[in-house]
């Protein structure tokens, strides 16, 4: 949006209403660009309107892009600029910055999709099975220290760790909690709980920001009834995982007995 003249309450409020209409019509908007090349000044009430615009953009997941700010305007926008707002010297650089972020975001999604598909393909022995299993799962983005599942709760899903690291915490009757294992990318948690429907024997907590994919009980039951070949491939993978877990436990017990 190209702005001009002196911005005051009336003009800035109309701009805010226009932005709200734009966001309603374009909920996929990721950048909202304002060109201040022809703006001569701005009053405090207009600044309040831009604060409202920033809040509306945050709710939608869009970023503000401010172009051609004079030193005076840059000072007025100092508070907003510190809050994840893109500032560019000219329109070309602003568009270039937006394009790079869009390309990077889509590249990341494609890379993640390939990574998940490649992992599932190796685990299940088929690209077709991999893509089918992905369709039954839902993505989870978890922050550091966030509890993913708690000990004693019903095991209502199994998790596939795509990125990050999670800790397995066991709480004892005396109140102590001990981390018994840390798991990284391309590992699975909660597979036996999902199949046997037992209560969770440990708490799962993100050690860093992580990306997981969850297969819920409902999705698992649909998978089992709708796609028997995929179900058999998943069970074979679970057996492999459990074999590795038993081997790890045996080695740990051997070390503790020394």
Q: What is the pLDDT of residues 118-157, one digit of tens each?
A: 999 999 999 999 999 999 999 999 999 999 999 999 989 9
167 & 238 share domain: yes
145 & 184 share domain: yes
135 & 204 share domain: yes
Distance between the two ends of the chain, CA-based, in angstroms? 72
Nearest by Cα to 181 from 207, 200, 144, 215: 207
Task: Give the distance from CA 80 to its chain's centroid.
Answer: 24
> DSSP letter at 28?
T
175 & 233 share domain: yes
Say which residues have a Cβ less than 8 Å from residue 168's Cβ, sequence separation at least 6.
179, 180, 181, 182, 183, 189, 202, 203, 204
Q: Is 253 left (phi over 0), alpha (psi -120 to 50) or beta?
A: alpha
180 in a domain, yes or no? yes
231 in a domain, yes or no? yes
186 in a domain, yes or no? yes
115 & 77 share domain: no
Last residue of one domain, picked from the residues 36, 60, 89: 89
Which CATH number does the domain housing residue 123 bear?
2.60.120.10
Predicted structure pTM score: 0.54
Q: Domain count of the chain?
A: 2
101 in a domain, yes or no? no
Instruction: Give the pLDDT confidence score for residue 125 in this predicted structure.
Output: 93
**Residue 105 pLDDT exceeds 70:** no
194 & 134 share domain: yes
The domain in which residue 43 lies consists of 2-89
- Greater confidence (72 vs 79) lies with 72
């Amino acid at each position: 949006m190209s702005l001009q003249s002196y911005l005051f309450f009336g003009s800035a409020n109309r701009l805010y209403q226009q932005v709200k209409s734009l966001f309603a019509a374009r909920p996929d908007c990721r950048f909202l660009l304002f060109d201040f090349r022809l703006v001569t000044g701005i009053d405090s009430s207009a600044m309040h309107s831009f604060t409202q615009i920033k809040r509306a953009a945050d709710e939608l997941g869009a970023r503000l892009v401010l172009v051609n700010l004079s030193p005076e305007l840059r000072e007025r926008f100092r508070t907003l600029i510190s809050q994840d707002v893109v500032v560019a010297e000219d329109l070309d650089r602003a568009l270039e910055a937006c394009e790079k972020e869009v390309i990077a975001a889509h590249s990341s999604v494609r890379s993640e999709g390939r990574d998940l598909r490649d992992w599932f393909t190796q685990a299940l022995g088929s690209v077709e099975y991999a893509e089918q299993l992905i369709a039954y799962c839902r993505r989870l983005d978890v922050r550091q220290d966030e509890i993913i599942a708690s000990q004693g709760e019903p095991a209502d899903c199994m998790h596939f760790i795509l990125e990050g690291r999670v800790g397995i915490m066991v709480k004892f009757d005396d109140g102590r909690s001990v981390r018994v294992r840390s798991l990284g990318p391309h590992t699975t948690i909660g597979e036996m709980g999902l199949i046997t429907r037992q209560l969770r024997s440990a708490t799962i907590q993100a050690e860093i920001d992580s990306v997981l994919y969850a297969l819920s009980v409902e999705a698992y039951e649909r998978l089992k009834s709708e796609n028997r070949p995929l179900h058999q491939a998943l069970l074979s993978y679970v057996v492999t995982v459990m074999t590795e877990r038993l081997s790890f436990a045996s080695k740990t017990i051997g070390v503790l007995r020394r």
